[in-house]
């Protein structure tokens, strides 16, 4: 099978990916950072009445010239409206949020008035009509769309939804991503290692990335290099309703690489398993019914680079989120040799000048098994296939991993 270009591989992995048709209804308190699945209309008008925007005195502007003395008729506070009509030559003490009494057309702020006694107030600065009044519906009106589907529910959106009188919100379901490490050599962190054994570290990084992209993660643990062990893990993924199965390692075609065989035995439609990229060439993609399968390479840098390139945008699409925007323009900070047929993703760091321009510096070691190098890297420097030799200052693109 020929090596597939990265762009085509991503297009095929994302083909047909969409959020579940039926949203879930979550209480406001549980909706933060979820994605709104339906347009949200206001269930009330806000404010529902003309309200004072300041503490002061509700008056008729025509009666409240500089030096005017008005009789105090009563008081209006938030949640306690004045019961009656403003009488001629009078003022009503009013507080922020209180309904403006009938007959009043403006509010004189308390700094512009002087309380003479308990029965009257003097206006020191002439009132202007319609000042310091929030008119009914100035924020939003009942029945109008306030938030559109696809909005990520941040603090502002949740506050707005609550103000529109929604106690629960329709949100896209989080896709369920099942993560399975494979290999007889793997042990969990904290376990003792025997001869030839290593720690299964990739699983935790890939799972963290999946959660950060908006998925719920099903940890399938480690499957041994036996068909029955793989079958048991696949049974668990299916039983828990996984939308995406991510396998780590064992997806090639060697004698001990059984993942493809186990999935093929269940009827997986294999799309491809080799990509023209470095690191990450042996990446498998396919479908097992509605289950999307992504087989990541076993080397840590390879699996994490592929997870950023393919798993993160897939989860975003399934969760109804916008595609992550990680790629930026930069200038190279070092010489690089000409590239071959595979697209390179070099682990690197970057600097940023006062204008925001980036300079990308590749790490001296690029072996795909090196975990410290990836942990230290803040970007991936992208080298297209057959790129010519480059010198410092030449333009390039970088995928930002972290600020």
342: Cβ contacts below 8 Å, ≥ 6 apart: 3, 276, 277, 278, 281, 385
pLDDT tens-digit readout, 5-36: 999 999 999 999 999 888 999 999 999 999 99
Domain co-membership, 284 together with 350: no
Q: Which one has a higher pLDDT value, 76 or 184?
A: 76
Check whether 186 has a pLDDT greater than 90: no
Distance between CA atoms of residues 174 and 244, nearest Å: 11
Say if residue 193 is in the same domain as residue 312: yes
Per-residue model confidence as pLDDT tens digits over 390-400: 999 999 999 99
Instruction: Indicate the residue among 83, 106, 134 that finishes a domain.
Output: 134
Residue 350 and residue 373: Cα distance in Å, rounded? 14
pLDDT at 251 > cutoff 70:
no
Tokens of 209: 């990335």
Residue 117 pLDDT grade (very low, low, confident, very high; cuts 50, 70, 90): confident
The verdict on 228 and 256 lying in the same domain is yes
- pLDDT score recorded for residue 252: 60
Tokens 């309703």 sit on residue? 241
pLDDT greater than 60 at residue 254: no
Phi, then psi, of 175 in degrees rounded to 5: -65, 145
Instruction: Tell me: do 259 and 128 sit in the same domain.
Output: no
> Is residue 258 located within the same domain as residue 183?
yes
Cα torsion angle, 61, 66, 71, 76, sign: positive
pLDDT band, very low/low/confident/very high, at 199 (cuts 50, 70, 90): confident
* pLDDT at residue number 403: 82
Distance between CA atoms of 177 and 4, rounded to whole angstroms? Answer: 24
Question: Which pLDDT tens digit goes with each residue over 369-385?
Answer: 899 999 999 999 999 99
Residue 141 lies in a domain: no
pLDDT for residue 271: 93
How far is residue 248 from each of residues 65, 223, 342, 386, measured CA to CA in Å? 79, 10, 21, 29
State the Cα–Cα distance between residues 314 and 307, nearest whole angstrom.
10
pLDDT digits (tens, 9 = 90+) for 307-348: 999 999 999 999 999 988 999 999 999 999 999 999 999 999
Residue-averaged pLDDT of the chain: 94
Task: Specify whether 260 is located in the same domain as 354.
Answer: no
Residues 110 and 180 grouped into a single domain:
no
Question: In which band, very low, low, confident or very high, does the pLDDT at 256 lie, cut at 50, 70 and 90?
Answer: low
In a domain, 142, yes or no: no
Residues 242 and 303 in one domain: yes
The pLDDT value given to residue 1: 57
Residue 3: predicted pLDDT: 87
Together in a domain, 194 and 313: yes
Backbone angles phi, psi at 234, to 5 degrees: -65, -40
Neighbours of 51 (CB within 10 A): 23
Residue 32 lies in domain = 26-41+147-171
Instruction: Tell me the DSSP string of 271-310.
Output: EE--BSEES--S-EEEEETTEEEEEE-SSHHHHHHHIIII
Q: Per DSSP, what are the bridge partners of residue 113? A: 123
Give domain status of residue 306, yes or no: yes
Both tokens assigned to 104: 């009043």
Residue 17 and residue 71 in contact, taking contact as beta carbons nearer than 8 Å: no
For residues 205 and 124, state if they share a domain: no
| Mean pLDDT of all residues in 260-277 | 92
Tokens of 219: 């940890």
Length of the chain, please? Answer: 403
Counted domains in the chain: 4
């Amino acid at each position: 099978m020929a090596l597939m270009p990265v762009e085509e591989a991503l297009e095929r992995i994302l083909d047909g990916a969409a959020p579940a048709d039926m949203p879930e209804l979550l209480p406001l308190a549980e909706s933060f950072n979820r994605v709104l699945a339906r347009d949200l209309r206001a269930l009330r008008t806000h404010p529902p009445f003309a309200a004072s925007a300041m503490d002061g005195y509700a008056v008729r502007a025509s009666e409240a010239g500089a030096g005017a003395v008005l009789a105090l008729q009563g008081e209006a506070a938030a949640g306690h409206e004045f019961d009656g009509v403003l009488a001629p030559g009078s003022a009503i003490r009013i507080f922020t949020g209180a309904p403006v009494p009938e007959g009043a057309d403006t509010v004189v702020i308390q700094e512009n008035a002087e309380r003479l006694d308990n029965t009257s107030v003097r206006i020191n600065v002439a009132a202007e009509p319609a000042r310091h009044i929030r008119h009914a519906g100035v924020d939003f009106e009942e029945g109008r769309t306030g938030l559109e589907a696809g909005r990520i529910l941040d603090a502002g959106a949740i506050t707005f939804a609550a103000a529109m009188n929604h106690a629960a919100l329709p949100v896209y379901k989080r896709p369920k991503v099942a993560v399975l490490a494979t290999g007889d050599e793997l042990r969990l962190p904290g376990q003792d290692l025997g001869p030839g054994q290593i720690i299964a570290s990739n699983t935790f990084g890939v799972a963290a990335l999946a959660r950060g992209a908006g998925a719920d993660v099903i940890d399938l643990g480690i499957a041994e290099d036996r068909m029955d062990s793989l079958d048991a893990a696949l049974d668990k993924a299916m039983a828990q309703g996984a939308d995406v199965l991510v396998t780590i390692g064992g997806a090639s075609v060697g004698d001990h690489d059984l993942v493809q065989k186990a999935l093929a035995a269940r009827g997986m439609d294999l799309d491809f398993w080799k990509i023209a990229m470095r690191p990450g060439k042996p990446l498998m993609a396919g479908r097992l019914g509605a289950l999307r399968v992504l087989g990541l390479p076993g080397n840590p840098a390879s699996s994490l680079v592929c997870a950023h390139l393919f798993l993160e945008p897939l989860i975003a699409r399934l969760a109804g989120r916008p595609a992550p925007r990680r790629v930026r323009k930069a200038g190279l900070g070092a010489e690089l040799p000409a590239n071959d047929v595979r697209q390179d993703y070099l682990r690197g760091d970057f600097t940023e000048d006062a204008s925001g321009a980036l300079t990308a510096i590749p790490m001296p070691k690029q072996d795909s098994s090196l975990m410290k190098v990836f942990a230290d890297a803040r970007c991936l420097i992208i080298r297209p296939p057959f790129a010519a030799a480059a010198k410092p200052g030449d333009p390039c693109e970088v995928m930002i991993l972290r600020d």
